[in-house]
Structure 1
Amino acid sequence: MRVQMLGLCRFSYLGMRGYQRDHSGIAERRAFLYDPARLARRWLIFETLALPGWLAQSDPDFTLVVMTGPDLPQPWLSRLRDLVAQVPQLRLELVPAMDRHLDACRAAIAPHLDPRADAVGHFRHDDDDAVALDYIASARRDFMQVRDLWRAEGRLSLDHSRGLMLRLAEAKATFAPRIAHNMGVALTVFLAPDRPETAIHFNHARLPLWMPGVAVTRPLMFIRSIHGDSDSGDPGPGIPLDIPPDDLDRHLVRRFGLNRAALESLAQRLEGQGRTGSPC
């Protein structure tokens, strides 16, 4: 059975809807998303936190579509072009501003669907979050254990729900380990390849309304960051976990290819760029 793993990462995509922050029109949204200082911060978080996991996946058989607008300012557009030229799993889609965000996401994903696939594992990934180095391998393996549930309806969510909440504020990186269901990161929506939806089409907090779901509660599979530029600063409901600091440091390296010093440096650099504290 061929399972395609196909993800979407929106990098400051200029379009209406699709975000928790409201703007009166496209001009106001453009001014917000394309603010030079904001873009510098987003890129810093993207390359420090999000990219390492994707560059070192133990299973390289996946596609991650990076979606942005054709007018994304320089040097950020050129940096994205250079990145996807170096990483075969990454694709860049430049989607003009659209009022209907779901249509825009579909336009970005559609060219990359594999017609040979029996099932497509759709996932969304925010540019300021991280997945474990074996996320793709685990999602594919775990799906095979429960594929009969998927066959019944052609839809199934697979939730790798143990992770770390990372708060970047006041020049510090602080962690809160927890089990948090359907966070949106390390969450895979398996669909038949001829279905028009993507992972974005389903509100991740309400997935049980549309499909059966399976939660896999170990090992650590995601890091969700919370910082001054977050679209939402609410960590959401969850079950707190106790991980000693030394064990946490080892998990960062082994599970995510990250280290505490780099994340502390990230928090300090964000502080120096003038946007810290709680998201607004």
Structure 2
Amino acid sequence: MQAIGLCRFSYPALGGFQVEHATIEERIAYLYAEARLEERFQLMEAVALPCLREQTDQEFELIIVIGDSLPRVHSDRLHDLTADMPQVRIVAEPPRPQREVMKELLNAARKDPSKPCLQFRHDDDDAISVDFIERLRQTVTDCPGLIRDNRTVAVDFNRGYVAEVGPDGISATETVRSLYVASLGMYVAGKCGLTIMNFAHEKIGRFMPVISLSDAPMWVRTHNGYNDSRQKKVKPVPVEPLTEAQKAEFSVRFAVRQEHVKQVFSEQ
């Protein structure tokens, strides 16, 4: 079954952000600010991409959506970061309504729309467990009744870590949180044009069955200077430096490694 992921990398959509801007020019200036983009690249390199490189099931695709106005130096840097990942396809789009363009890209990526597929979103500052694709595929196989009777079914791995990363390494706290973007997948039946981008992730359970699994940590959500969802006043999440056991877990489960994080965030 085809598995398709979608990642927005500083794409200047019309709508789709909790941080509001009066004009698209203001949004582009915000998204492409050098300090912000540098942090996004650091997070991409140290957190978001390693877990994809080490997936136990390599049969997936990842569409990375950028703006067609992203400066060439940054576009080239992103292509260089993903050059060793045959699953990645970078697509440049002009500013358009977010859900419209994302739904189009997901449906266009389906090799055979008459057959079912799996879909997931992947934020550029989060990590998923290296067995996410494998477990997503297996979970759908394990639930034939739901799959038979529904056009769409969500799979929510709801245990993970909230983390902060930087030149001093990784600090985190384990938590259970339903319907985060990270490690949330969706089954889509053949001949169904719905996509995971038709739904706000935290509301997806209003529209389809959700299979929830809490047995193991399956995601790392980083809190950083430019989280869109955290630009307004929100309750802080206390984190602690990783123990030696947690460092090993982050390395094995998420391919997020303490020394690599320190190195990436120390480079200027």
- One fold, TM greater than 0.5? yes
Please give the alpha-carbon distance, in whole angstroms, between the structure 1 residues aligned to 2:169 and 2:53. Answer: 25
> 1:115-147: CA deviations, max 9, x gaps?
077321111110000011111111101110013
* 1:146 equivalenced with 2:146 (yes/no): no
Match of 2:77 among 63, 76, 79: 79
Asked whether the 8 Å contact 2:115–2:191 carries over to 1, the reply is: no
The change in CA–CA distance for 1:31 and 1:124 in structure 2 (over 3 A counts) is: same
Spell out the pairing of 1:1-280 with structure 2 (5 A cutoff).
3-98=1-96, 100-115=97-112, 118-168=115-165, 173-233=170-230, 245-265=243-263
Asked whether the 8 Å contact 1:159–1:216 carries over to 2, the reply is: yes
> 1:234-256: CA deviations, max 9, x gaps?
9x99xx9x9x8232122111111
Please give the alpha-carbon distance, in whole angstroms, between the structure 1 residues aligned to 2:170 and 2:99. Answer: 33
Amino acid at match of 1:87: M
Amino acid at match of 2:26: E
* C-alpha displacement of 1:79: 2.3
* C-alpha displacement of 1:160: 1.0
Larger deviation, residues 151-160 vs 82-91: 82-91
Secondary structure, aligned partner of 1:86: coil
> 1:72-126: CA deviations, max 9, x gaps?
113211123344543211111111111x211111232233112077321111110
Asked whether the 8 Å contact 2:9–2:66 carries over to 1, the reply is: yes
The change in CA–CA distance for 1:19 and 1:200 in structure 2 (over 3 A counts) is: same
Please give the alpha-carbon distance, in whole angstroms, between the structure 1 residues aligned to 2:201 and 2:113. Answer: 27
Amino acid at match of 1:43: F
Q: How many residues align?
A: 263
> 1:208-232: CA deviations, max 9, x gaps?
2100011111222110000111112
Please give the alpha-carbon distance, in whole angstroms, between the structure 2 residues aligned to 1:224 and 1:166. Answer: 6
Please give the alpha-carbon distance, in whole angstroms, between the structure 1 residues aligned to 2:244 and 2:38. Answer: 32
Asked whether the 8 Å contact 2:12–2:28 carries over to 1, the reply is: yes
Amino acid at match of 2:44: F
Asked whether the 8 Å contact 2:9–2:65 carries over to 1, the reply is: yes
Please give the alpha-carbon distance, in whole angstroms, between the structure 1 residues aligned to 2:25 and 2:228. Answer: 19
Provide structure 1 residue ranges, at least 5 long, that are not aligned to the other structure: 274-280
Secondary structure, aligned partner of 2:141: helix
The change in CA–CA distance for 1:202 and 1:129 in structure 2 (over 3 A counts) is: same
Secondary structure, aligned partner of 2:162: strand
Amino acid at match of 1:228: G
Provide structure 2 residue ranges, at least 5 long, that are not aligned to the other structure: none
Please give the alpha-carbon distance, in whole angstroms, between the structure 1 residues aligned to 2:213 and 2:134. Answer: 14
Amino acid at match of 2:94: P
The change in CA–CA distance for 1:19 and 1:118 in structure 2 (over 3 A counts) is: same
The change in CA–CA distance for 1:170 and 1:134 in structure 2 (over 3 A counts) is: closer
Larger deviation, residues 162-171 vs 173-182: 162-171
Equivalent residue number for residue 278 of structure 1: none
Secondary structure, aligned partner of 2:153: strand
> 1:149-173: CA deviations, max 9, x gaps?
1221211010111111102479563
Identity of matched residues, %: 28
> 1:35-69: CA deviations, max 9, x gaps?
12211111111011111011111111000100111
Equivalent residue number for residue 276 of structure 1: none
